Amino acid sequence: MSTFETKSSPTDFDRWLVTELARSGPFTALVVLVTITDSKIVPLCSTYLNVIGSETDWGEVVILFAGAGRDWDGASFYPLTGPAGGPLDNPSARLRLRELEARLDDDLMVLNEGHFFDKWGRRNMIEKVELQ
């Protein structure tokens, strides 16, 4: 009897991660989790993480985000590298995260400047909706 391990097909996030690492090498990702309703998007929390390889997949990211203790519907990732390449140092990452949060307070469309994914790892985009 043989055992076959089946891995789900790669998500948009998985493909993006491989492409981003090939483009920039290791990087820091600023991350914003949001909740989405029919007429509203609300930023819930933010963090940053250093990405040094593509071994992580969307399923592992979802498990990591479970630690936020919030029900979320989407995540936007903003890859940044330091002046000499590679991930940012912690003080710089914290500063850039605060700057991003301030920009989001002014305009939620900033979510589209990142790489925005829904909770299933599918690429997503925010569109302005006129409320009636």
Q: What is the mean pLDDT of each run of 10 residues along the chain (132 residues)?
A: 54 96 97 90 95 92 92 96 96 98 95 96 85 56
**Residue 49: helix, strand or coil by DSSP?**
strand
37 lies in some domain: yes
Domain encompassing residue 107: 12-118
Q: What is the pLDDT of residues 60-71, one digit of tens each?
A: 999 999 998 899
Q: Which residue has the tokens 């909770």?
A: 119
Does any domain span residue 93? yes
Residue 96 lies in a domain: yes
Total count of domains within the chain: 1
- Cβ proximity of 124 and 118 under 8 Å: yes
Q: Are 6 and 59 in contact (CB under 8 A)?
A: no
The rounded percent of the chain whose pLDDT value lies above 90 is 77
Question: 71, 51 in Cβ contact below 8 A?
Answer: no
Region of 12 (left: φ > 0; alpha: ψ -120 to 50; beta: rest) is alpha
* Residue 112 resides in a domain: yes
Query: Residue 42 pairs with which residues in a beta bridge?
Result: 35
* pLDDT at residue 4, rounded to an integer: 38
Residue 128 lies in a domain: no
Confidence at residue 81, expressed as pLDDT on a 0 to 100 scale: 97
Would residue 108 count as lying in a domain?
yes
Q: pTM, whole model, 2 decimals?
A: 0.89
| Four-CA torsion 28, 112, 101, 81, nearest 10 degrees | 20
Asked if residue 6 belongs to a domain, the reply is no
Length of the chain: 132
Neighbours of 33 (CB within 10 A): 20
Asked if residue 4 belongs to a domain, the reply is no
> What does the alpha-carbon distance between residue 119 and residue 107 come to, in Å, rounded to a whole number?
22
